[in-house]
Structure 1
Amino acid sequence: MTERPPPTLRVECLARRHDVTARSSRVIPEETPVAFTFGGSTHAVMMATPADLEDFAIGFALTEGLIDSPEQAGDVEIVVSDAGIELRAWLKGGRQEAYVERRRSMAGPTGCGLCGIESLEAATRILPTLDNALSVRADALIEAMERLPAAQKYNQETRAIHAAAFWNPGSGALIAREDVGRHNALDKLAGALTRQAVAAGQGVVLMTSRVSVELVQKAARMGAPIIAAVSAPTALAVRNAQHCGMTLVAVMRGRDFEVFTHPGRILEQVSAHVA
């Protein structure tokens, strides 16, 4: 059997530094086609980092609304070939039958994070209402984001991989997953939390990327009341977060950040307007 490729790889290169070009090398992230197969039917193919694949399979099925619990995904079989990696699962508890009905009207799977939608209208998903009363201190949130780089073992090697992390403000625990795609990283995190029976409603999702609407939708499906990121959100992401009751914190740079929706969950805020 073909071996699973490593998440990172050292390659030779020419490096120009201070007007001098010399032979060098760099560790870069691996990118591999990963196919999700449910009941023998391929649902989508994502270009992803070949790490934490069990988490990826469970989290993808969860955030795409195919399952509500890891038990409904059954056992995940990982099949490696020269063409890529296939994650095979047979859905349980009536989910396989529902999936077959869904595929009959599927327009076509994509790798954009909105996989298996039936129409343009389906891209605007009905999200659960997040009425969670969780609140976090501003300085604690800043400290949690500052801890994230140390939890990114693959990015420390490559400086080219996104991370999604879950921070529990009560215990201080930080769970991180990485991938070249920010959607993939969040799916892996969702799978990790689900498999470890960690309730996303107890903490904050941290992202090393901008916040697109897909990330808000996936985080809402997880039940996360707060999402925080280092870059800016899209306008549609803000509207979705506002509608479902999610607190969206973005542009976290050093000790500065901006809260776009439901600011009551972030304590010790300064109310004065800052241009």
Structure 2
Amino acid sequence: MHALLPTACEIPVDVYGGIQGAPGQDVVADEVPVAMVYNGISHAVMLASPCDFEDFALGFSLSEGILERPEQLFHLEIMVSEQGISLEMQIAGDCFARLRQQRRNMTGRTGCGLCGTESLAHAIRAIPRVPVQPVPDDEAVQRALHDLRNHQPLQKQTGATHGAAWCDNEGEIQGAREDIGRHNALDKLIGARIRSHGANAFENGFALVSSRASYEMVHKAAVSKMGCLVAVSAPTSLAIREAKRAGLMLVGFARPGRHVLYTLRESSRDGVGYEQ
């Protein structure tokens, strides 16, 4: 975990559970403003865990459609100040021109995915179709779910972070990222996988997130060409509709011993199948 700042801190607390309070220590997750700056222009400020900045910068840029390909990010400099973190990116000229036309301000995206969107016409973006891929079975989902906690050290410490993991079709977790924000955790996972695996980052597997499946989570998964998104909590109706449009298999309420399929792509192991 690459961190320029501590991801957690220990503070004194008073613990109550009886008649009198008792002094103790608690480990608390850190939360800092992280500015996404493109060619000198600040585009968005996120509240995020101070770690995995390279993954965050690339994953956010790709999942938000600012970049179409990772090679369009020419340079990244991580600037630390008393106010927070600035991710200073140099991107391709055509990407920057398109970004300036959008004129969106998304401060505080950990709370809601569309804060600052200028009009209803920009609120729901067109979602791409995902490639037909093999789908995980019940055993794979349960294996990944059981192992997720082992890939969330910050959550173990603080109880305050979300996790996003990429799993193969057998349910083995291939990599994971954490953040206080569910969108941020998924963006960090996207960036990490693409940095290490390139165009094949999301072939033959599924993403597992320790959160609800919102529209934004579905959209980020589809843009990244994931075939399946599994969420520990509930999906929204908009997320389900958009997943169907994308041909994305969407699983919610993934808990020990059960999970719910909201959109299903039936598929054989060779990737041939149909949608429901």
TM-score (structure 2 length as normaliser): 0.89
Q: Which residue of 1 aligns with 2:272?
A: none
Q: Which residue of 2 aligns with 1:85?
A: 85
Does residue 1:108 correspond to 2:98, yes or no?
no
Q: How far 1:186 sits from its partner (Å)?
A: 0.6
Does residue 1:225 correspond to 2:227, yes or no?
yes
For 1:212 and 1:222, the matched residues in 2 are separated by 16
Q: Secondary structure at the match of 1:35?
A: strand
Does residue 1:206 correspond to 2:208, yes or no?
yes
CA contact 1:138–1:266 (8 Å) conserved in 2: no
Report Cα offsets for 1:168-223 as digits up to 9, x if no partner. Answer: 22693421100000001011111101111252132101010111101000111111
RMSD after superposition: 2.1
Label 1:171 to 1:162 Cα distance change in 2 as closer, same or farther (>3 A). Answer: closer
For 1:215 and 1:138, the matched residues in 2 are separated by 22
Q: How far 1:266 sits from its partner (Å)?
A: 9.6
Aligned residue runs from structure 1 range 88-167, under 5 A: 88-92=88-92, 94-100=94-100, 102-103=101-102, 106-112=103-109, 113-114=113-114, 117=117, 119-167=119-167
Among candidates 234, 240, 249, match of residue 236 of structure 2: 234
Q: Secondary structure at the match of 1:121?
A: helix
Q: Secondary structure at the match of 2:16?
A: strand
Specify every segment of 5 or more residues in structure 2 that has no aligned partner in the other structure, as ranges: 270-276
Label 1:115 to 1:99 Cα distance change in 2 as closer, same or farther (>3 A). Answer: farther
Q: What one-letter code is carried by the residue in structure 2 that aligns with 1:250?
A: G
Q: Which residue of 2 aligns with 1:254?
A: 256
For 2:219 and 2:164, the matched residues in 1 are separated by 14
Label 1:222 to 1:189 Cα distance change in 2 as closer, same or farther (>3 A). Answer: same
Q: Which residue of 2 aligns with 1:180?
A: 180
For 1:146 and 1:163, the matched residues in 2 are separated by 13
Percent identical: 37
Report Cα offsets for 1:70-116 as digits up to 9, x if no partner. Answer: 2211221000000110000010263223323x24xx25334333477
Label 1:108 to 1:51 Cα distance change in 2 as closer, same or farther (>3 A). Answer: closer
Q: Secondary structure at the match of 1:264?
A: strand
For 1:19 and 1:148, the matched residues in 2 are separated by 37
Q: Secondary structure at the match of 1:94?
A: helix
For 1:72 and 1:17, the matched residues in 2 are separated by 55
Q: How far 1:132 sits from its partner (Å)?
A: 1.3
Q: What one-letter code is carried by the residue in structure 1 that aligns with 2:106?
A: P
CA contact 2:67–2:95 (8 Å) conserved in 1: yes
For 2:19 and 2:68, the matched residues in 1 are separated by 56
CA contact 1:241–1:261 (8 Å) conserved in 2: yes
Q: What one-letter code is carried by the residue in structure 2 that aligns with 1:23?
A: P
Q: Secondary structure at the match of 2:54?
A: helix
Label 1:266 to 1:110 Cα distance change in 2 as closer, same or farther (>3 A). Answer: farther
Does residue 1:46 correspond to 2:46, yes or no?
yes
Q: Secondary structure at the match of 1:75?
A: strand
* Residues paired across the two proteins, number: 262
Of the structure 1 ranges 12-21 and 232-241, higher mean CA displacement relative to structure 2 is found in 12-21
Q: Secondary structure at the match of 2:233?
A: coil
For 1:115 and 1:195, the matched residues in 2 are separated by 28
Q: Which residue of 2 aligns with 1:243?
A: 245
Q: What one-letter code is carried by the residue in structure 2 that aligns with 1:260?
A: Y
Report Cα offsets for 1:97-149 as digits up to 9, x if no partner. Answer: 3323x24xx25334333477553222211111124131222111111111100
Of the structure 1 ranges 251-260 and 89-98, higher mean CA displacement relative to structure 2 is found in 89-98
CA contact 2:43–2:104 (8 Å) conserved in 1: no
Q: Which residue of 1 aligns with 2:274?
A: none
Specify every segment of 5 or more residues in structure 1 that has no aligned partner in the other structure, as ranges: 268-275
